[in-house]
Amino acid sequence: MAVIRDSSNIKVEDGTATVSGWVQDIRNMGGISFLTLRDRYGTIQITMPKKKIDPELFGLLTKLSRETVVSVTGEVKASNQTALGLEIIPASAEVLSEAAVPLPMGVIDKVNVEMDTRLNNRFMDLRKPEVRAIFELKALMVELIEEAVRGNGFVQVYTPKISAAGAEGGAELFQVQYFDRPAYLAQSPQLYKQILMSTGLDRIYEIAPAFRAERSNTNRHVTEFISFDGEMSWIENEEQVMAMIEEIIDHVLVGLKERGKKQLEILGKEINVPARPYPILTYSECLKIVNDGGLPLKEGDDLGTEGEKIVGDVMAGKGVDLYFIAEYPEEAKPFYIMEKDGTPYSFSFDLDYRGQEISSGGQREHRYDRLVARMEKKGLNPDDFSFYLDAFKYGMPPHGGWGIGIERLLVKMLDLPNIREAILFPRDPSRLSP
Ligand code: ATP
Ligand code: MG
């Protein structure tokens, strides 16, 4: 007898099979009843002609509450009434876990459920194939990212998530009690990535949680996200970093399209693989686009959500999904970014995907004196960063890198309405559970 975990793999020739899953639906039509059993891979129909089934078994199976977990053994028969082309006529069944009534939310009901209700009952929400498909694609995306970076000689590293100092600005730090002194949750692995550049590990990457204490309630900010960071030495300019990101993203898009077909079909989505190279706009060019679009930003201003969107719309008009915005004013970028001497700009860039930032990166300042000067200019006390600065004192190669929010990337690739759709258990200012 075949015991089958993947119901979609059952063949009529198997004769008898045992299938297990959740009771999705029961329809009683008088002389005959149908039970739809769902597992990870799909659904299978249990068909129960009343006259041919043991009355006790018939009674048990037709009265099960929805979402009960059950194992059913029976004869596999060909059927032209079901999608799988077969059905199971039960001979025995075992209830493994009965579902309470009523359910906190439906699994197959087509009514629109609020996102809050869905997230409060995420275990139930995830029973929907189209919700699960997002996370299967997320896992595939990480696999593809790793293929691309490893293929380019990057070494995976883990940097601490509890730290004495932040890199991206003090206001966004979560403080934690670290025995008798304060510590902070890592906003990014920035400082540690750079320290490693002084060691000979000249290409490294990390895919790990990052924490931001931002009270923003938007569809693209959360307080905990997964950051894909890379850092590479021996670069001559930031364009080499952009080229690396482009290669990685392209590998991901092509790979998702080819290897994520099943999940993309469930979601009803298609992946567009943009032509390479991705265009590089400068900040100044974007400022002009934004001004022409009616938003009166001045030199030095942050492009902001609205500005990014205007640029995205103009690029969409040219059929461009992904583009870099380079040479931001040094003032708008963190201390570790290298200035473009003799100008107010810097060797920094963002990667935008249809009007939204998904990555920031650039060439770093590797010269000790210049780095200290930039820290002071930004109002930071170099003494607080000695653990970082020491690595620059004794031989540091030129280097650059990036941080990519993997949920932001996924949301854009799949055109999802909210970053929370791409996180199993999202954290935001009002959500700490489940
Ligand atoms: P934004 O201006 O969009 O808030 P940022 O410039 O503050 O982003 P960075 O510090 O540059 O973000 O972080 C690098 C990347 O990490 C971003 O491009 C984005 O993909 C991701 N990221 C940053 N903050 C968040 C957040 N709160 N939620 C989800 N992803 C984030
Ligand atoms: Mg940024």
Residue 2 has pLDDT above 60, yes or no: no
The answer to whether the CB of 224 is under 6 A from ligand 1 is no
Ligand 2 centre to CA of 332 (Å) is 10
**Cβ pair 369, 380 in contact under 8 A:** no
Q: What is the pLDDT of residue 1?
A: 47
Tokens describing residue 227 = 């950051």
DSSP bridge partners of 65: none
Contact partners, residue 151, CB within 8 Å, separation at least 6: none
Q: If you write DSSP's letter for every residue of 105-133 in order, what string do you get?
A: S-SS--SPPPHHHHHHTHHHHTTSHHHHH
CA distances for 232 relative to 147, 152, 188, 200, angstroms: 17, 10, 16, 10
**219-261: per-residue pLDDT in tens?**
999 999 999 999 999 999 999 999 999 999 999 999 999 999 9
Residue 385 has pLDDT above 70, yes or no: yes
Neighbours of 48 (CB within 10 A): 26
Distance from C-alpha of 365 to C-alpha of 349, rounded to nearest angstrom: 14
Q: If you write DSSP's letter for every residue of 34-69 in order, what string do you get?
A: EEEEEETTEEEEEEEEGGGS-HHHHHHHHTPPTT-E
- Is 357 catalytic? The answer is yes
- Is 212 catalytic? The answer is yes
Phi, psi of 150 (to 5 degrees): -60, -40
Q: If you write DSSP's letter for every residue of 153-166 in order, what string do you get?
A: TPEE----SEES--
The answer to whether the CB of 333 is under 6 A from ligand 1 is no
Residue 167 has pLDDT above 70, yes or no: no
Distance from C-alpha of 86 to C-alpha of 80, rounded to nearest angstrom: 7
Tokens describing residue 266 = 């469930």
**33-86: per-residue pLDDT in tens?**
999 999 998 999 999 999 999 999 999 999 999 999 999 999 999 998 888 889
Percent of the chain with pLDDT over 70: 97
Catalytic residue among 214, 239, 247, 285: 214
- Residue of 408, 411, 421 with the most ligand 1 atoms within 8 Å of its CB, for mutation: 408
Q: What is the pLDDT of residue 3?
A: 57
- Look at the block and give the residue holding tokens 């329809």: 27
- Is 220 catalytic? The answer is yes
Longest dimension (CA), the chain: 90
Q: What is the pTM of this model?
A: 0.95
Closest Cα to residue 222, out of 232, 214, 230, 234?
Answer: 214
**264-282: per-residue pLDDT in tens?**
999 999 999 999 999 999 9
Neighbours of 206 (CB within 10 A): 22
Distance from C-alpha of 375 to C-alpha of 405, rounded to nearest angstrom: 25
AA identity, residue 9? N
Q: What is the pLDDT of residue 92?
A: 97
Q: What is the pLDDT of residue 290?
A: 97
